[in-house]
Amino acid sequence: MNIETLLSALAVSPENIPLNLLLAEAYKADLNFDQAKAIYLKVLTLDSNHKDTQLKLIEVLDLQGELSEAVVRIESFCQNFPDFGEAWVLRARLSFKDDEIGKAREYYQIAMALSSKLKDEGLEKEIGYVDEIEEITDPQVGVGAQDWSPEAIGSPTNAPPNSNNEFDFLSEIEYTKEVDVDFDHVGGMSEVKNDIRMKIIHPLNNPDLFEAYGKKPGGGVLLYGPPGCGKTLISKATAGEIHSSFYSVGLHQILDMWLGKSEEKLHQVFELARKQAPSVLFFDEIDALAADRSDLKGSAGRTLINQFLAELDGAHSKNDGLLILGATNAPWHLDSAFLRPGRFDRVVFVPPPDQEARISILDILSQGKPIDNSSFKSLAKKTEGFSGADLEAIIDVATEKTIEEAMKSGKIIPISERILLKARKEVKASTLRWFESAKNYAMYANQSGMYDDIITYMGIKKP
């Protein structure tokens, strides 16, 4: 059918989805990608769950040269519909265009595992895919009734020969019996503090009250935001706030040494924290468990992720008195299975400090130093976009400069406003880069409104 015919048919029934799709195809054949895109967007407003149309839209974006937007969208599509094979083929093709051959092969392999009917010989040649008969487990996470007891998991079969013994492994986890920071040591962040109080501290202290209102205990809080803005600090301070012990697990670093033995290890960490309850169990860089991390792609990685989910669910041991916190700079890499009820079901944005918060952070960071704190107001005015860690760097630089001067003059002089402002010029605001990439995810991968806080913070409009 030609465009004219389709247009006149649509004049009668403008919301007819199949007709609209035909028209979009016709425009595409005409290389009129802008019109095709507009129609796909229209179809998605009629039926936002139309998966084929979502993929078509992504293809058109690619044809228009909008490769990065296409990539962002396909990533989130695959996350939401992990068993939609066509999407993995498209993702493979886009990764190839994006010079990510290794990833392209992985994604293609997932597609093949889902359905061999999706075979695309042209693409196979381009990405150098050889059909190895390799078993791939279902990419969907956390489904099915599996037994996660240590007995059922059994002893790991592929543990490296020099695998770490108990002692080494525990030494990689930061454990603090009595934490010496509480919320007073964290500047600003009043909303985040309130969230943590409401979501995990109060329920821990008043379980009956919360139950009376039908609020189930359990689940964790996921903190996300630009680096250096206090996610780790406030997690530790949460333990200080309730006088509990604090376990901190940095996942990136630890995953590698765990590979092969990791389910067992993970279970032990949870068990340790459960024994010490009440305790705060903090997982830093939780995006290390991301679905697209290549070494977690195979079945071993899946097992580990499922184990983590089962521990969060308290499937085999109760998580009473356990406050679970996670932090990440890249929440979009995290499998949506982590965010389901009872898991990290409370997601909290930790923004850069505002002017008032910067003053209080400067106050906290400069405690015990001879410093002219009447100057913090003007410094705070000039440090928009600076993280708490950046402010710490300014104080460090200023301290060094002052010590130099003090040595020359032979007496103790306070850290002055002049020196602070000079130091400020040597430190860059580090949060801006984070927002550049966060913006894309907030605009194009924000299905459940998870990143609305970023949108509000940046003062941008939803597309």
- The single-letter code of the amino acid at 251 is L
Which of 231/267 has CB closer to Mg ion?
231
Tell me whether the omega of the peptide bond preceding residue 14 falls within 30 degrees of 0, making it cis.
Answer: no
Which of 85/351 has CB closer to ligand ADP?
351
Shortest separation between residue 388's beta carbon and ligand ADP, angstroms: 2
Residue 219 site contact among ligand ADP, Mg ion, none (CB < 5 to 8 Å, cut-off depends on kind): none
Question: Buried (b) or exposed (e) across 159-198, using 16+ Cβ within 10 A?
Answer: eeeebbeeeebeeebeebeebebebebbbbbeebbebbbe
* Cα 38-39-40 angle, rounded to 5 deg: 95
Alpha-carbon span 308 to 268, nearest angstrom: 11
Count the residues of the shown chain that bind ligand ADP, applying the rule CB under 6 A.
19
Query: What is the per-residue DSSP string for 376-401?
Result: HHHHHHT-TT--HHHHHHHHHHHHHH
Q: Can residue 364 be called a binding residue for ligand ADP (CB under 6 A)?
A: yes
Candidate list 78, 181, 327, 334; residue touching ligand ADP; CB under 6 A: 327
8 A C-beta contact, residue 186 and residue 233: yes
Tokens describing residue 218: 């359990």
Q: Which helix (H) or strand (E) holds 212?
A: helix 207-212
Q: Which stretch binds ligand ADP (CB under 6 A): 106-114, 164-172, 229-237, 302-310?
A: 229-237
Please tell me whether residue 415 adopts helix, strand or coil conformation. strand
Candidate list 61, 94, 222, 229; residue touching ligand ADP; CB under 6 A: 229
Q: Which stretch binds ligand ADP (CB under 6 A): 100-108, 181-189, 370-378, 406-414?
A: 181-189
Which of 105/231 has CB closer to Mg ion?
231
What is the signed CA dihedral for 290, 294, 299, 303, rounded to 10 degrees?
-30
Which of 252/428 has CB closer to Mg ion?
252
Which of 275/382 has CB closer to ligand ADP?
382
Indicate the residue whose CB is closest to Mg ion: 232
Candidate list 36, 233, 254, 289; residue touching ligand ADP; CB under 6 A: 233
Residue 371 site contact among Mg ion, ligand ADP, none (CB < 5 to 8 Å, cut-off depends on kind): none
Q: Which stretch binds Mg ion (CB under 5 A): 21-29, 136-144, 200-208, 223-231?
A: 223-231
Which of 110/186 has CB closer to ligand ADP?
186
Alpha-carbon span 28 to 299, nearest angstrom: 40
Please tell me whether residue 371 adopts helix, strand or coil conformation. strand
Count the residues of the shown chain that bind Mg ion, applying the rule CB under 5 A.
2
Half-sphere exposure of 21 (CA within 13 A, CB side): 14
Residue 156 site contact among Mg ion, ligand ADP, none (CB < 5 to 8 Å, cut-off depends on kind): none
Shortest separation between residue 234's beta carbon and ligand ADP, angstroms: 7
Span 58-77, contacts to ligand ADP by CB under 6 A = none
Shortest separation between residue 286's beta carbon and ligand ADP, angstroms: 12
Shortest separation between residue 357's beta carbon and Mg ion, angstroms: 17
Span 380-409, contacts to ligand ADP by CB under 6 A = 388-389, 392
Shortest separation between residue 262's beta carbon and ligand ADP, angstroms: 23
Q: Can residue 231 be called a binding residue for ligand ADP (CB under 6 A)?
A: yes
Shortest separation between residue 282's beta carbon and ligand ADP, angstroms: 10
Span 184-203, contacts to ligand ADP by CB under 6 A = 186-189
Which of 85/188 has CB closer to ligand ADP?
188
Burial class (CB within 10 angstroms; exposed 0-12, middle 13-18, buried 19+) of 81: middle
Which of 58/229 has CB closer to ligand ADP?
229
Which of 233/259 has CB closer to ligand ADP?
233
Which of 233/419 has CB closer to Mg ion?
233
Span 227-256, contacts to Mg ion by CB under 5 A = 231-232
Shortest separation between residue 457's beta carbon and Mg ion, angstroms: 19
- Considering only CA atoms, which of 219, 272, 276 is closest in space to residue 243? 276
Q: Can residue 232 be called a binding residue for ligand ADP (CB under 6 A)?
A: yes
Tokens describing residue 140: 């969907």
- The single-letter code of the amino acid at 231 is K
What is the signed CA dihedral for 307, 311, 316, 318, rounded to 10 degrees?
180
133 Rama sector, left if φ>0, alpha if ψ -120 to 50, beta otherwise? beta
Question: Buried (b) or exposed (e) across 369-391, using 16+ Cβ within 10 A?
Answer: eebebebbeebbeebeebbbbbb
Shortest separation between residue 421's beta carbon and ligand ADP, angstroms: 20
Shortest separation between residue 350's beta carbon and Mg ion, angstroms: 10
Question: Buried (b) or exposed (e) across 340-364, using 16+ Cβ within 10 A?
Answer: beebbbbbbbbbbbeeebbbbbbeb
Residue with tokens 């002049």: 418
The residues that touch ligand ADP, with contacts defined as CB under 6 A, are 186-189, 227-233, 327, 353, 361, 364-365, 388-389, 392
The residues that touch Mg ion, with contacts defined as CB under 5 A, are 231-232
